[in-house]
Amino acid sequence: MSVPYVSSDTLWIGYDNVRSVKLKMKFLKDQGYGGVIIWSLDLDDKTGDF
């Protein structure tokens, strides 16, 4: 996996480091995307409930 994360039985935390951000930006450029947006991170929930 290219994006770092930590997990336990009931917890999963994904985060970015310099390498993962570079990989994501390369992907976006390779796909021809013109920009990127970061949405409100407080709505992130691995169960899919908001």
Amino acid identity of residue 26, one-letter, is: K
43 versus 28: the higher-pLDDT residue is: 28
Whether the model pTM is above 0.75: no
Please give the pLDDT value at position 48. 61
Domain boundaries, the chain: 5-43
Per the CB < 8 A criterion, the answer to whether 27 and 10 are in contact is no
The amino acid present at 2, given as its one-letter code, is S
Digit-coded pLDDT (tens) for 12-39: 888 889 999 999 999 999 999 998 887 7
* 6, β-bridge pairs: 13
